[in-house]
Homo-oligomer: A and B are copies of this chain.
Amino acid sequence: MPVLLVRGDREFLVQPGEEMGTDLGVLEVPADVEPGETIETHLEEAFDVRRLRGPDLFHHFERTGAPMVPRDIGLVIGETGISRGDRVLDAGTGTGVLSALMARAGASVVTYERNDEFADVARENMKLGGVADAVDVRTGDLTAEIERLEASSFDVLTLDTGDAAAVVEHAPDVLVDGGFLAVYSPFIESTREVVEAAREAALSNVRTRETIQREMQFDDRGSRPSTAPVGHTGYLTIARNV
């Protein structure tokens, strides 16, 4: 598993056994490196070894677009109950943070990305995040492929694509009984299409929520919501195959 090497503002995501050049000298990362240890460069500059956590991926993954924010990933995980042993089908890989975090929670993920280069970057990100074994990044369009996938072979279907509605109509085929659909969509029109497709496909408990978050301020003058709140990200539609 990859670890973080940290010293002040410097932070490197490295694999055990790897060699990493820094402005403070070369770090030879031992193959048996453990979080909590300290290792030194050849110039005897010390770095702390820290275990990689999910939110760190936002800083260390190469981005091919704006990744879904931790809050929305958390909502997807919470509302669908992602857990060990889950088989997740995903489309719209992008940077791959959602896939990586679901894998870190124990799921095996098959994710489709239309853009060749984005898919390549996502594959590298999965290695960086230590989840290359658990995430199968496929270059392609799930809309075209979904009819070829084995019936009832996924527990959860997560979508972050503009044409999610076209995939949703096949959700009952690929999901197990009791499986969940989660679609993230920034605009109301595409959200409506998703909801209509989910109803048409006879999925249950179809509901869409918009999430508004406000940072709170606590200072000497008192407590209040921030005057600079967090903006809209997207609508999250959840439905269940029951």
Contacts and interface: CB of A to CB of B under 8 A. Distances in A.
A207 B213 CA distance: 12
A56 B75 contact: no
A223 B237 CA distance: 14
A187 B51 contact: no
A171 to B, nearest CB: 15
Contacts of A35: 176-178
A60 interface: no
B105 A84 contact: yes
A100 B221 CA distance: 28
A222 B223 CA distance: 13
A208 B180 CA distance: 30
Given A78-B77, A188-B188, A53 B105 contact: no
Given A155-B51, A224-B186, A230-B209, A83 B105 contact: yes
B82 A78 contact: no
Interface stretch (A88-96, A139-147, A191-199): A191-199
A48 interface: yes
Interface residues of A, number: 73
A228 to B, nearest CB: 5
Interface in A9-47: 35-36
Contacts of A225: 210, 231-232
Given A191-B216, A208-B215, A222-B187, A76 B74 contact: yes
Interface of A: 4, 6, 35-36, 48, 50-51, 53-57, 70-84, 101, 104-106, 152, 155, 176-180, 186-192, 195-196, 207-216, 218, 221-233, 235, 242
26 contacts: A4-B178, A6-B178, A35-B176, A35-B177, A36-B176, A50-B176, A51-B178, A53-B80, A53-B83, A54-B82, A55-B79, A55-B80, A71-B211, A74-B76, A74-B77, A81-B101, A84-B104, A84-B106, A187-B221, A188-B216, A188-B223, A192-B223, A196-B218, A210-B213, A216-B235, A225-B232
